[in-house]
Amino acid sequence: MSSVPASSAQPSRPLTRNDYKTLSLSALGGALEFYDFIIFVFFATVVGKLFFPADMPEWLRMMQTFGIFAAGYLARPLGGIIMAHFGDLLGRKKMFTLSIFMMAVPTLIMGLLPTYAQIGLWAPILLLLMRVIQGAAIGGEVPGAWVFVSEHVPPRHIGYACGTLTSGLTAGILLGSLVATAINTLYSPEQVSDYAWRIPFLLGGVFGLLSVYLRRWLHETPIFAEMQQRKTLAAELPLRAVLRDHRGAIVLSMLLTWLLSAGVVVVILMTPTVLQTVYHFSPTVALQANSMAIVALSLGCIASGALADRFGAGRVLVSGCLLLLATSWTLYHSLLDHPNWLFPLYTLTGLFVGVIGVVPYVMVKAFPPVVRFSGLSFSYNVAYAVFGGLTPLAVSLLMKESPMGPAYYVAVLCVMGTLVGGYLWKRGR
């Protein structure tokens, strides 16, 4: 494994004003890009009615609409691998800026697209195309952002930097939820269907283009600049080197991505629906509790990243996964008998989902700088496409057997996370 350039190893340097500016702009851009990626799901019902034939059966329409949503996930690995390839050869900053541009423009176009009634079959085709471009963009953004911030800060602050960036990404989910709630509150269902559904997409596109402008003020990472200067960039296809020389790091990163996807998909994205269907909470109460859980998750990401800097990723993973196992099990197990426990329990569970703030810290350190972007991007995007896609299906099948299905799934992943944490702890990481 290549070593980090000597001048970048500054263990004693504190975080500077420049570091905080880099972190703030990166987290803000990440939040807006994640908002752009998931706002589609909040308006899936309306979009389905407008972009498919009116006489299509409801189940088929929703299936096709969510198929278009899923296409964004399937495009992630390809987009991430291509952008990471150029990120390792041409520079982190170029790809970091390109990814948000590739997200902002399709989001803006989605807000302006003619409907099925206006252009027929071209409406869903264009919608699918925009969604695929969005998926390719997010595939490059998330790994690129983690690499970018980790290579800007001193080594002893990498956990805090990655945790803060991850917090920004989760804040994008909250922003999407709040904007969707506001649109559905301010406008009648007829107005939403007529024109108001376009507002969140137009807002996302404009904010995204603003982020592209703001990222002009960011600088290339010192580690990449030094590799460029010393002519020590990858001499072969970076991904080939990753697959040949870093298989252990790939397995480790994929397992941790599975943990991350379970925390976000099950506890944050699926639980509001579970709260309504299994535990009979109103949509308003479920979404309010979900918003509090996301706020707690954002704080938990920062805290776990900072703790990893101080105590090591292994210890934080072990303790965080055990706490998540205890709180998530209690949440799903006790709500039928104690519905008044929803807000404190869901908030606490959201806080411990924040253990995922450790995941990028481990992945960034698992690969050497020369192939870091490609290694992290390949592991993260392939694992997220597989596990992110299969998780809802697995949880749904478990729920056919028991309402505790989400708890069982999260428990299995917490045990896996504890074992991985124990492995890292043993190795002093």
Q: For 17-75, how does the pLDDT look when each residue is reduced to its tens digit (9 = 90+)? A: 888 888 888 888 888 878 887 888 788 778 888 888 877 787 787 677 777 777 777 88
What local confidence, expressed as pLDDT, does residue 232 receive? 65
**Nearest-angstrom CA–CA distance, 349 and 331:** 8
Contact 74, 66 (CB under 8 A): no
pTM score, two decimals? 0.85
Which of 67-76, 373-382, 414-423 is the most confident on average? 414-423
Three-class SS of residue 330?
helix
What local confidence, expressed as pLDDT, does residue 211 receive? 84
What local confidence, expressed as pLDDT, does residue 12 receive? 59
Q: Which residue has the tokens 């071209």?
A: 122
For residues 94 and 359, the model is more confident at: 359
Contact 42, 180 (CB under 8 A): yes
What local confidence, expressed as pLDDT, does residue 1 receive? 40
Measure Cα distances from 323 to 21, 257, 299, 318, 346 in Å.
33, 19, 16, 9, 13
Q: What is the amino acid identity at position 270?
A: M
Give the residue among 190, 46, 66, 191 at the shortest CA–CA distance from 115: 46
Instruction: Say whether pLDDT at 416 is over 70.
Output: yes
Quick: pLDDT tens for 321-349: 999 999 999 999 999 889 999 999 999 99
Compute the average pLDDT of residues 198-227. Answer: 86
Measure Cα distances from 155 to 10, 15, 113 in Å.
7, 11, 46
Compute the average pLDDT of residues 194-208. Answer: 93
Query: Among 2-6, 226-230, 268-272, which is the least confidently predicted range?
Result: 2-6
Three-class SS of residue 64?
helix
Contact 234, 65 (CB under 8 A): no
Contact 137, 78 (CB under 8 A): no
What local confidence, expressed as pLDDT, does residue 6 receive? 37
Question: pLDDT band at residue 412, thresholds of 50, 70 and 90?
Answer: very high
Q: With the C-alpha atoms ordered 64, 66, 67, 69, is the resulting torsion angle positive or negative?
A: positive
| Every domain of the chain and the residues it spans | 16-233, 236-429
For residues 164 and 235, the model is more confident at: 164
Instruction: Extract the tokens encoding 24.
Output: 């703030």
Q: What is the amino acid identity at position 149?
A: V
Question: pLDDT band at residue 11, thresholds of 50, 70 and 90?
Answer: low
- The fraction of the chain above a pLDDT of 90, given in percent, is 41
**Nearest-angstrom CA–CA distance, 128 and 302:** 35
What local confidence, expressed as pLDDT, does residue 287 receive? 83
- How many of the other CB atoms lie within 10 Å of CB of 368? 17
Q: Which residue has the tokens 């922003």?
A: 175
Q: What are phi and psi of 235, to 5 degrees?
A: -85, -15
Protein fold of 236-429: Growth Hormone; Chain: A; (1.20.1250)
Measure Cα distances from 44 to 34, 64, 166, 372, 396 in Å.
16, 10, 25, 36, 19
Instruction: Say whether pLDDT at 223 is over 80.
Output: yes
Instruction: Extract the tokens encoding 278.
Output: 């299994």
**Nearest-angstrom CA–CA distance, 24 and 15:** 13
Compute the average pLDDT of residues 150-171. Answer: 91
Instruction: Say whether pLDDT at 225 is over 50.
Output: yes
Three-class SS of residue 117?
helix
**Nearest-angstrom CA–CA distance, 46 and 368:** 46
Q: Which residues contact 104 (CB under 8 A, 6 or more apart)?
A: 33, 36, 204, 205, 207, 208, 209, 211, 212
Q: What is the amino acid identity at position 41?
A: V
Compute the average pLDDT of residues 377-400. Answer: 86
**Nearest-angstrom CA–CA distance, 18 and 152:** 9
Compute the average pLDDT of residues 168-194. Answer: 89
Residue 123 C-beta-side C-alpha neighbours within 13 Å: 20
Instruction: Say whether pLDDT at 10 is over 60.
Output: no
Give the residue among 415, 416, 396 at the shortest CA–CA distance from 406: 396
Architecture of domain 16-233: Up-down Bundle (1.20)
Q: Which residue has the tokens 């085709």?
A: 125
Give the residue among 86, 2, 3, 135 at the shortest CA–CA distance from 373: 86
Instruction: Say whether pLDDT at 3 is over 70.
Output: no
What local confidence, expressed as pLDDT, does residue 358 receive? 96
Quick: pLDDT tens for 229-247: 777 676 677 888 888 889 9
Give the residue among 97, 422, 167 at the shortest CA–CA distance from 159: 167
Give the residue among 78, 75, 96, 112 at the shortest CA–CA distance from 33: 96
Residues 294, 37, 416, 274, Cα dihedral to 10°: 60
For residues 197 and 36, the model is more confident at: 197
Would the CATH topology of 16-233 be identical to that of 236-429?
yes
Q: Which residues contact 85 (CB under 8 A, 6 or more apart)?
A: 237, 238, 239, 374
The rounded mean pLDDT for the chain is 87
